[in-house]
Amino acid sequence: MSGAITMVVDDSPFSLALTTGVLAGFGVRPAFTIGRSVEARRILQEKPVDLLLVDTDMPEIDGFELVRWLRRSGPNPNAFTPVIMTASHIRRSRVAEARDCGANFVVTKPFSAAMLLERILWVARDDRPFLEVGDYLGPDRRFRNEGYEGEERRGRLIRPETVEFA
C-alpha cells in the first residue's frame, strides 16, 4: 500500500490530520491532502489517484457531488478510482446517497485505524463491475452474489474499467 497514490479530502483540518495520521500508520503517505472539493476536482482532472477518501459534508461542493462528478468525468481514468466516504453524522438516507453517488464504501467518524484498514483492504479486493444504469455510474450496488441462474440482463450495462482515449 505504500506505493498507492492516495487523496484525502476533508474541510476539517482536525479530521484531515487524523485521517492522514491513520494512513501513515499503515505506511500510506497521501499524495494529496485537500480541504476543498474544488481543489480536489482540479487535481483529479490532472493526476492519477489510486484511492480517494472524501468527507460527505463540505462547503461549496459536498462529498456526494464530488463523487458523482468523478464517476461521470470520463475519459478520466480516475472515474474508476475506489472511493471511501467518511461521515460524522450518518443516517440511513445518507448511506443510501453515498451508495447512489457511486462510492464504494462509507466509514463513520470517529473510526478506528483497524476499521479504516479493513475498508481499504475490502475496496482493494472488490471485484464488482462498474455499471451505468440511468443516472447511476459506479460499482455494482449488490454485495452478494446469490448464484442467480437466469439470463444476465445487465451485460450491456457493465462498463469496462479501462478507458481508451481517442
Check residues 132 and 154 and name the one with the higher pLDDT: 132
pLDDT digits (tens, 9 = 90+) for 113-133: 999 999 999 888 877 777 777
Residue 73 CA to residue 49 CA, distance in Å, equals 14
Q: Edge-to-edge strands of the sheet including 130-133?
A: 136-139, 130-133, 158-159
DSSP code, position 11? S
Q: Are 56 and 64 in contact (CB under 8 A)?
A: yes
pLDDT digits (tens, 9 = 90+) for 41-83: 999 999 999 999 999 999 889 999 999 999 888 788 899 899 9
The mean per-residue pLDDT over the stretch 70-98 comes to: 85
What pTM value is reported for the model? 0.79
Q: Which residues contact 8 (CB under 8 A, 6 or more apart)?
A: 16, 19, 20, 23, 30, 32, 33, 34, 53, 54
